Amino acid sequence: MASTVVASTLTVTLTESISLNGQSFGGTRSHSIASINEIYKRILTIPADADTTVVSFKSATSASDVALDIQDAKYLRISNLDNSNTINLSFQIDAGEDDSAADESATIALAPGQSFIMGTPHDSIAVSDANATIETTLHDLESVLIDSSSNAVDVEVFVAST
C-alpha cells in the first residue's frame, strides 16, 4: 500500500509571560521535530478510583494492541484538563527492554491545567533507589498510567511519531 501521508515538521513552542513591578520576565522557546507522519491524540475521562493506561510503547506495533512504536515516537505530551484536581502520572519502565511488562515505575503529580512533555520514550527514563545517585543507564518507557484518585478527570494525550 502506498501512503498518501506526507511527513511534516512538528513545532513545539513554550511561552512564559509575567510582569512584576513593571518589568517583564519569561521567555519563548521553540523546538522543531522533522519527518513526523503519525499523530496519536486522544482526550479521555479517567474514572475515579481506576488507574488507567493512556499510552503504551513497544518495539513493534504488532507486539501489542494499540501500542505505539517506541523507536518512532519522538514527542509525548500529557495534559491535565481538570480545573481543580491533581493527577498522578505513573511512568511504567521496561528496564529489560524486552517488550515484557514493566519492571520499574516512577510517579509524578500533575496539577490542574498543567502538561508534562518529553521527547522520545526510547532509552529515556530510569529510576534508582540506591543512595539517590544519578542513573545514567536509561531504559524504555513501557506505558503511562494515570491515577485520578477519587475524582474523575479529563486528560489529553498527544504523541508525534516518524
User: pLDDT, tens digit, for every residue of 49-108?
Assistant: 999 999 999 997 765 678 999 999 999 999 999 999 999 999 999 999 998 889 999 999
Q: Which of 71-85, 131-145, 148-162 has the lowest mean pLDDT?
A: 131-145
Average pLDDT over residues 127-152: 92
Task: Examine the pLDDT at 140 and tell me if it is beyond 70.
Answer: yes
**CATH top class, domain 36-161:** mainly beta
Q: Which of 20-24, 52-56, 131-135 has the lowest mean pLDDT?
A: 131-135
Spatial distance between the Cα atoms of 51 and 148, rounded to a whole number of angstroms: 7
Q: What is the pLDDT of residue 64?
A: 65
Spatial distance between the Cα atoms of 66 and 60, rounded to a whole number of angstroms: 11
Q: What is the pLDDT of residue 65?
A: 74
Residues 6+ apart with CB under 8 A from 129: none
Average pLDDT over residues 25-29: 96
Q: What is the pLDDT of residue 62?
A: 65
Return the domain boundaries, the chain.
36-161
pTM for the complete prediction? 0.92
Q: What is the pLDDT of residue 3?
A: 80
Q: What is the pLDDT of residue 66?
A: 80
Q: How many CB atoms lie within 10 A of CB 84?
A: 9
Q: How confident is the model at residue 135 (pLDDT cuts 50, 70, 90)?
A: confident
Spatial distance between the Cα atoms of 98 and 95, rounded to a whole number of angstroms: 8
Average pLDDT over residues 119-145: 92
